[in-house]
Structure 1
Amino acid sequence: MFKLGLRTVLSHRLRFALSLTAVVLGVAFVAGSLIFADTFSTAIRRNFAATTADVVVTPVSGLGGSAANLGDNNAKPPTLTADLATQIQNLPGVAATDPSLLLGGLQLLDKAGKPIDTYGVPTFGASWPRYAETATFQLVSGAPPWGNQQIALDSRTAKRTGYEVGDQVRVVTPTGTITARISGTITPGTSGLAAGAPLIAFDGASAQLLLLGEQGWTSIGVALKPDQDRDAVIQRIRELGGPGVHVRTGAQVTEDSETALDQAFGGMSAVLLLFAAIALFVSSFLIVNTFSMLVAQRSRELALLRAIGASRRQVTRTVLAEAIVIGLIGSTLGLLFGAGVAGVLQATFAELDLDVPTGSLQIGPGTIITSYVVGIGVTCAAAWPAARRAGRMSPVAAMRQEIALPPKAARTRVVFGLLLIGMAAVSYTSTIAARGLPAAVLIGLGGAMGLTGVVLAGPLIGRYAVQLLTLPFGRSTPALLGARNAQRNPRRTAATASALMISLALVSGLGVLAASAEASVDQGVREAIGTSDVLVSGDEGAPMSGKVAGIVAAVDGVAGVGRARAMTGQVDGQQIRVTGVDPAVLNGPIVTKVEQGSLDGLAGGSVVVTRPLARQFSLTPGKTITVVTESGRHNLKVATVIAANRQLNGVVVSLDTFGRIGGAGTDSVLYVDLDEGVTMEQVQQPLLQALADYPSVQVRDQVAYAEAERGPIDLMRNVVLMLLALAILIAVLGIVNTLALSVVERTREIGLLRAVGMERGQLRRMVQIESVTIALLGALLGAGLGVLFGSAIQTVMSEDGMAVRDIPELQILASVLIAAVVGVLAAAWPARRAARLDVLRAIGTE
């Protein structure tokens, strides 16, 4: 039976190629994601293999674990003192200690005076190590830096920017902008999130002055004397440092660093795998259709097998053997293409200077096994219903007609589909009144249930929908025959349309969410920013030096400057944003709607909370909220509850309180009021000239500020739509596949049509109408469901940053029109093949 299945595959090369394509694409995306993740992880471990000291001491963060503040928000990082390093040096078993400083938030300017583009990766500043044994980077060329007029730059960044040893460069640090000479080049860093990122090194004293503005170290590397009991030394250090220090071995630091990198970059692999799963799910419809049609076309062949003594089980095995062959070859090719996908991702990272760390592609046993399990498993699972029906087929019935789904099974399928649609509707109506992320998750699950229900009930829906969709094509013979062909097997038509429906549902739903998020940002900025004519902020939300506000205030035409600072905090284990403002900022520059209490308490050390946070933690004026920051736990009294506010999300405190609970002296946004009669155009150039030492600082009006706030949303939407394009491609292949096999199935019928006078052009039009009908059915169902559930998610998230619903009608209409065009293009090859069939041979086909 396996040999028979293999011979059947080889004798129908076209059907084999069409079925194979879906498997290859699905497996390639899965394999590519796994190979890229394994390559990245292996390179990280290789990079970490020779790093860190025997023991590493770091300060404990109030947010839990070892301090990990990297300068990407406005919190002061916990630090250790030089005295502690000296005390550890004097402990028995300790050979040497090396206090060091590592912080993010720097910017290197290129030769044109513009910040180099790091594509979202922070630029780090580090102190020069005392000992090679504890260093996380090494000197490549030149000499170590000395004084605040010298730096060392990692060799990768130096090569990309064209800088060499001896060149003068400008660097923006958290405390100001300096001009320094490159004294040497170093290897990229190999510590935590700084591994492979742009790295600038200073001597120890200069690093503290420029990065912190005060004395302190973020870690102490400890080298042990030979043959020392490491655990005993660690215990002595813990007793000396007390609960404020975290003591780890070099191996533990490596493991924690890998975990930190997984958290930072692992999400990308998860997204790729998610869309790989979507691609496989869509591919399964193509494979199910293919095998259903193959069994239908081979009904007489299979019936003859039964007639000459083949058992039901043997017939089933024959069909499954074909699936195994297709799955095996598809998995092999998919694995090879997956390596190509991973190579393209790696090359993209290298082009963006994000190949950190780098290494050869790693194709591990787990990836190989997963690829074959996925490819063969999905193919066999998709082929199983057709194989089972083939085994149950009556030889006499099969010789008379094609296989069809038994009426009872068809009714059960439709009833179950309608039941799922009803459950999705109940879930929708019961959840729509709720609010927050949990409600959005429930609606998402309801949407998946509804999509599944529509897929199962597709034959019933498609039977009537096809009649309506073919009305615009008129009552010509090609139109009537095209409609009849689409209606002939409603289950197959619905399955083909379902692949496109799922893809368009995702595209439309995400389109509604992205457009609503952008509209909400615009409205939030308009409503939250009142009297401010100009907003000054760092590029991509980076903190600005505290000196910037004074520079802006000194420019002619500026009436006043309001500061806002923000850092990450926690309330009851949940991450929140803590914002520090001048109290006067809430009376004009930022518009607030007080719902409970008064803003007067802000200056006295109390806090303001937004309504979503107050509702979540049952907060009212007079109650105490415990806010955890890098510096520890802080009990603060609630003075006011305000409506949800785009600029103030979470807990709001005065600038004095912000500094007291661990906030740094860098600003997030400056709200600038101008003198009466002065316009933005009049002060923009003087402001930019005054801020020449801070080229990354952006000076914008409200419209430009809102546009910049929408940037991450636009990027996310574009990435998601690019990934979903793969699923749409597979859906298009499904239409091509169905039509091509349908032409093969109807070869004799097409020959008869040509014999009675149908012209080739009419035949092509008939196939095109069938294709367009299938494409429109899937597109309209998908667009409608996507808009419905996207709108529902927006509704429940209306108080969590998505207050405005915006349905992108043009985008959705364009999707439907593109689907119609896709239907025409998908029919081109099958229609051409049908039109070129030899009439006599077609009529003689059995």
Structure 2
Amino acid sequence: MLVRLMWKSIVQRPLRYVLTGLAILFGVASVSAVFIFTDGLRSTFDELAGNIEDGYDIAVQPRIEFGDGFLAPTVPLDHLQLVEQTPGVAAVQPRIAGFGIIAIDADDEPAFAASGPNLGVHWGVRSGVVRLFLQEGRRPEKSTEFAVDIDTFAEGNFTLGDQYRVQVPAPLPEGTTFTLVGTFTFADPDENALVGARLVAFDEDTAVELINQGKGYTDITLILKPDADPLQVIADLEAVVDDNLEVRTREEIVEATQDQFGDILGIFRTVLLVFAIIILGVSSFLIYNVFSITLGQRIRELGLLRAIGALGSQITQLMIGEALLLGIAGTIVGLPAGMGLAWLLRAALKLLGFPDDTGLPLAPLTVVWAIVTGVVVTVLAAIWPSIQARRVSPMAALRDGANLTDLADSYRPLRGLVTAFSGCGLILGGFTFSGWLPRLFLPVVGGIVVYVGVLLISKRAAKFVMFTIGIILLLVTLRGDFELGETFGLLGAGALLTLLGANQLNPYFARPAVRLLGSTPTAVVLGLIGIVMSVAVVGAFGFGIYVLATGVPQGIQDSFAEADVEATRGAIATPLLFISVLLSPLPYGLIRTSLGARGLTGRVGRANASRNPQRTATTAAALMIGLTLVTAVTVIGDSIKSSVNDALGTSIIGDFLVQGPVSGPSRTPFSVEVSKRLSDLDEIESIVPYRAAFPAAFATSDEGELTAADFQEFLPQILQLINPDNETTPQDLLALQAEIGTSIDINDALAVDFTFLEDHVDPGFISIDRELIGPDSVYIVDEFAEEKGLEVGDSFPALFVDLQSEDLVVAGIYTNQFVLGQRVISIDMWNRHFPSDSDQFLTVVTAPGISEDVGRAAIEAALEEDFPIIEALTKDEFAANAERQINQTLATVNVLLGLAA
């Protein structure tokens, strides 16, 4: 009987359930799209990891205990012979690779990668394993030759046999060019498996000089003889290589590389899932509202069922059954819709540098999450209305004008007190556990439990509970001192409870809001908004068609900085067309509402909305969440832009910032030759180079004085403390810290030339001793100094990525981290511990009397021949670039939030 009733209800009211199904469908589609898209990325990068680490059995690599692998020491050149002479080794192939190697075509245009890094590699021939497959010409064999991958060749103005400039980190004589002798594909003879990256290849000796400054190899790979024992070969190699090197199997390296890609993709998936969860939350509100409305409309029907003998449990089963059917239907349709949404997501994210040639696999886990999203969330959203339905009093429900307020009240003060105190315990429990998840989950659950408890005592008081708890959590978070993750967890809990509480209070504002919105002035405003929006929708649709037909206008292309916008015209046009079509009914609705506001339709609508303020408020809750999030993101974005502008105005004194384009994880480093050439100009007074270290391990001791020599003595314990293995317990870590007698922090550091630093930036020094400035000096931010109890003149040891320690002398303490970060070491110290002597960026102070135009012209003239990718920006131009990047990010976030709303 219940099944027939469910089916009859759905058939008789199809529009209501179709609209509910759309909410479920969109929630399922959004979650499915996130998993489909990120699974495709993961599969692509897993395959890339296998391609990168292909063709060998064992590798000798720098030991990377922490920090950026590309800043790790190289493998010394003399180790090649040691590896070759090891018993069991059949063939050896050293490898060289580095970021920021960019070919300049005949039009003086740098061949930037659109969605990946620009890399330089060597063309390996020693082991016989082919990783670069020749397509045209030949491989480079001389120090004046190079080759490029087929995509670089096709996208730039290159001709085999001609000479071109190549941007490399190593210093090159002025006017140096290389002959392009060949093209190739990577990892596959039939297609280029680079996932958006671009490669420039040299012969082995040239690559060592240009990429690693002649210091060594990136690593040395080897192939074993068929009868060799891998464990024995590894043991023999470990006995002869330097202590700062390690020997690993190919399988270990592939797994580690995949884990690195996985960590990055995990963060990205989390970000996308946040938006998917927002969509789910909005959908849950809509589903809850539909079932609440259904309950109000069917109260006489349910009362009649109770009168003829239906049990309360059967009424609940009826409502949940309908939700289950809707969830199943929404999941069946939502999963393929998720495939389409994943395609749109891939196209849109191409603008942000993501590869567009990834697959879109449908994994079993995605199907599971789709079912959980569509079925479980729908059923959970319908539980409360179904519980209310079982409380229908037959006599009250059968009266004329019966409504939800006639449901039997549940007044149980003792049970309410116990439940409320239990909820308070959950909230307090959230503060006893570390990590962001308990701080987010337990307060939210506790707040809901408190609400249910108070509801059993007083309906009116319960409406204020969640809002009050949310505000208290936000105030505690702002006033308290928590870790970053815990702070975000508490902020999320407070914001969520505040939104839920606001939904409970909205009925008090529903009737006044309806009267205001139904007034004549508001109707006129709505009509004007509808007209403006109709023009915007038509314009967006037309512009999308225009972009598809003719390409991206130059002004918009310039706003995307280094991105190849012309190649991603579809990624621009597709969201425009999709959103314009999606929003096309809205202008009509606004104009139609404006015209009918004072007629019969308007009066009936106002009366209907005013009659049940709870239903009206719940309906508006979904829009409230979306608008709240969009407003919050906009305010945060404006705050960031304002902070950047203020920091630039107060921190940077220099006239120009000189930097390279973005390539891979950071900006392209450039040769020290750039700073040398600029220093020789009469128009330039001084230059300060900057290099980023990611990271060095800094440490201080709370008991006694530790030195660099102590660090070297405790090196095994420090490394275990930095990178504990799976068997290390928290007690073991505490024991290690007690044994060392110090706390260990792994942090980034900046290296600068201290000579003219104060003429270029103002970090807000609160204490400085210029007589202490030297090769072993360090400037530190006041927070670090306060935390570690350091003053000017004190020293503390630091462990660098080459596993060597230094005693750093504090020469200055500052307050402004905008330019210098938390720690600044000298260029001399950098050169002692990092293999790269390339600069990340420069600040330039022009000579007295030199105007901005004259200074810029002098800089560009000095660099345009050999360093065309380097740009000089004023503070205003740098701020404009930063604001443009922030706006691009905000636009992406707002599009996702717009879909959620």
TM interval, shorter chain, is: 0.7 to 0.9
- Asked if residue 18 in structure 1 is aligned to residue 19 in structure 2, the reply is yes
Counterpart Cα distance in 1 of 2:50 and 2:888: 35
**Aligned mate of 1:55, from 53, 58, 61:** 58
Q: Secondary structure at the match of 1:551?
A: helix
- Unpaired stretches in structure 2, ≥5 consecutive residues: 411-454, 524-596, 700-743
TM-score normalised to the size of structure 2? 0.74
- Asked if residue 592 in structure 1 is aligned to residue 763 in structure 2, the reply is yes
- Asked if residue 704 in structure 1 is aligned to residue 877 in structure 2, the reply is yes
Counterpart Cα distance in 2 of 1:697 and 1:114: 12
> For the structure 1 residues 614 and 488, does the alpha-carbon distance in structure 2 shift closer, same or farther, using more than 3 Å as the test?
farther
Contact 1:107 1:115 in 2 (8 A): yes
* CA deviation vs aligned residue, 1:235-291 (integer Å, no higher than 9, x gap): 222222254222222222211111122233443222211110110011100111111
Counterpart Cα distance in 2 of 1:411 and 1:489: 23
Alignment correspondent of 1:620? 791
> After alignment, is 378-387 or 681-690 more displaced?
681-690
Superposition deviation, residue 522 in structure 1:
1.0
* CA deviation vs aligned residue, 1:320-365 (integer Å, no higher than 9, x gap): 2221121111111111011112223445577988538x45431111
Matched letter for residue 690 of structure 2: A
Contact 2:115 2:354 in 1 (8 A): no
The number of equivalent residue pairs is 716
- Asked if residue 534 in structure 1 is aligned to residue 656 in structure 2, the reply is yes
Superposition deviation, residue 32 in structure 1:
0.9
Alignment correspondent of 1:583? 754
> For the structure 1 residues 664 and 242, does the alpha-carbon distance in structure 2 shift closer, same or farther, using more than 3 Å as the test?
closer
Superposition deviation, residue 107 in structure 1:
2.2
Contact 2:658 2:872 in 1 (8 A): yes
Counterpart Cα distance in 1 of 2:516 and 2:273: 38
Alignment correspondent of 1:644? 816
> After alignment, is 168-177 or 368-377 more displaced?
168-177
Counterpart Cα distance in 2 of 1:399 and 1:306: 10
Counterpart Cα distance in 1 of 2:86 and 2:159: 42
Superposition deviation, residue 37 in structure 1:
1.7
Contact 1:52 1:134 in 2 (8 A): yes
Superposition deviation, residue 205 in structure 1:
0.3
- Unpaired stretches in structure 1, ≥5 consecutive residues: 70-74, 729-846
Alignment correspondent of 2:39? 38
Alignment correspondent of 1:88? 83
**Aligned mate of 2:630, from 507, 532, 545:** 507
> For the structure 1 residues 431 and 323, does the alpha-carbon distance in structure 2 shift closer, same or farther, using more than 3 Å as the test?
closer
Counterpart Cα distance in 1 of 2:26 and 2:384: 22
Matched letter for residue 585 of structure 1: F
> After alignment, is 291-300 or 262-271 more displaced?
262-271
Contact 1:563 1:585 in 2 (8 A): no
Q: Secondary structure at the match of 2:760?
A: coil
> For the structure 1 residues 274 and 137, does the alpha-carbon distance in structure 2 shift closer, same or farther, using more than 3 Å as the test?
farther
Alignment correspondent of 2:737? none
Superposition deviation, residue 120 in structure 1:
6.0
Q: Secondary structure at the match of 1:97?
A: strand
**Aligned mate of 1:657, from 821, 824, 829:** 829
Contact 2:470 2:498 in 1 (8 A): yes
Contact 1:57 1:245 in 2 (8 A): yes
Superposition deviation, residue 133 in structure 1:
6.1
Alignment correspondent of 1:602? 773
Counterpart Cα distance in 1 of 2:404 and 2:224: 77
Alignment correspondent of 1:362? 361
Superposition deviation, residue 718 in structure 1:
2.1
Contact 1:416 1:453 in 2 (8 A): no
Alignment correspondent of 1:817? none
Contact 2:286 2:619 in 1 (8 A): yes
Alignment correspondent of 2:504? 456
Alignment correspondent of 2:324? 324
Superposition deviation, residue 223 in structure 1:
0.4
- Asked if residue 552 in structure 1 is aligned to residue 725 in structure 2, the reply is no
* CA deviation vs aligned residue, 1:368-404 (integer Å, no higher than 9, x gap): 1110111011111111222222233233322324441
Contact 1:62 1:631 in 2 (8 A): no
Contact 2:516 2:522 in 1 (8 A): no
Alignment correspondent of 1:226? 226
* CA deviation vs aligned residue, 1:186-242 (integer Å, no higher than 9, x gap): 33369xx97652121111100011112213011111101113222222222222225
1:297-308 map, 5 Å: 297-308=297-308
Alignment correspondent of 1:9? 10
Counterpart Cα distance in 2 of 1:352 and 1:137: 28
Counterpart Cα distance in 2 of 1:412 and 1:140: 79
> After alignment, is 490-499 or 661-670 more displaced?
661-670
Contact 1:6 1:325 in 2 (8 A): no
Alignment correspondent of 1:717? 890
> For the structure 1 residues 352 and 390, does the alpha-carbon distance in structure 2 shift closer, same or farther, using more than 3 Å as the test?
closer
**Aligned mate of 1:145, from 140, 148, 151:** 140
> For the structure 1 residues 43 and 642, does the alpha-carbon distance in structure 2 shift closer, same or farther, using more than 3 Å as the test?
closer
Q: Secondary structure at the match of 1:187?
A: strand
Superposition deviation, residue 89 in structure 1:
1.9
Q: Secondary structure at the match of 1:491?
A: helix
- Greater RCO (CA < 8 Å, at least 6 residues apart): 1
Counterpart Cα distance in 2 of 1:31 and 1:349: 17
**Aligned mate of 1:97, from 89, 92, 99:** 92
Alignment correspondent of 1:674? 846
What fraction of aligned residue pairs are identical, expressed as a percent? 29
> For the structure 1 residues 274 and 669, does the alpha-carbon distance in structure 2 shift closer, same or farther, using more than 3 Å as the test?
same
**Aligned mate of 1:158, from 153, 160, 164:** 153
Superposition deviation, residue 23 in structure 1:
0.9
- Asked if residue 188 in structure 1 is aligned to residue 182 in structure 2, the reply is no
Alignment correspondent of 2:574? none
1:774-785 map, 5 Å: none
Counterpart Cα distance in 1 of 2:688 and 2:771: 17
Alignment correspondent of 2:214? 214
Alignment correspondent of 1:419? 465
Q: Secondary structure at the match of 2:87?
A: coil
> For the structure 1 residues 359 and 702, does the alpha-carbon distance in structure 2 shift closer, same or farther, using more than 3 Å as the test?
closer
Alignment correspondent of 1:842? none
* CA deviation vs aligned residue, 1:78-102 (integer Å, no higher than 9, x gap): 1112322221222222111111111
> After alignment, is 269-278 or 615-624 more displaced?
615-624
> For the structure 1 residues 464 and 398, does the alpha-carbon distance in structure 2 shift closer, same or farther, using more than 3 Å as the test?
same
Counterpart Cα distance in 1 of 2:57 and 2:508: 69
Superposition deviation, residue 433 in structure 1:
4.2
> For the structure 1 residues 268 and 117, does the alpha-carbon distance in structure 2 shift closer, same or farther, using more than 3 Å as the test?
farther
Counterpart Cα distance in 2 of 1:534 and 1:359: 40
> After alignment, is 23-32 or 386-395 more displaced?
386-395
Q: Secondary structure at the match of 1:559?
A: strand
Contact 1:30 1:273 in 2 (8 A): yes
Matched letter for residue 108 of structure 2: G
Counterpart Cα distance in 2 of 1:641 and 1:194: 45
Q: Secondary structure at the match of 2:200?
A: strand
> For the structure 1 residues 599 and 428, does the alpha-carbon distance in structure 2 shift closer, same or farther, using more than 3 Å as the test?
farther
Counterpart Cα distance in 2 of 1:291 and 1:535: 60
Counterpart Cα distance in 2 of 1:379 and 1:589: 59
* CA deviation vs aligned residue, 1:531-590 (integer Å, no higher than 9, x gap): x22222222443221111122223342223232332222435655332222223333211
Matched letter for residue 300 of structure 2: R
Counterpart Cα distance in 1 of 2:683 and 2:271: 48
> After alignment, is 438-447 or 383-392 more displaced?
438-447
- Asked if residue 274 in structure 1 is aligned to residue 274 in structure 2, the reply is yes
Counterpart Cα distance in 1 of 2:351 and 2:814: 46
Superposition deviation, residue 116 in structure 1:
3.3
Counterpart Cα distance in 1 of 2:402 and 2:892: 44
Contact 1:413 1:457 in 2 (8 A): no
> After alignment, is 392-401 or 679-688 more displaced?
392-401
Alignment correspondent of 2:619? 496
Alignment correspondent of 1:446? 494
Counterpart Cα distance in 1 of 2:489 and 2:785: 22
Superposition deviation, residue 123 in structure 1:
0.8
Contact 1:567 1:577 in 2 (8 A): yes
Superposition deviation, residue 470 in structure 1:
6.3
> After alignment, is 712-721 or 372-381 more displaced?
712-721
> For the structure 1 residues 445 and 396, does the alpha-carbon distance in structure 2 shift closer, same or farther, using more than 3 Å as the test?
closer
Counterpart Cα distance in 2 of 1:13 and 1:634: 75
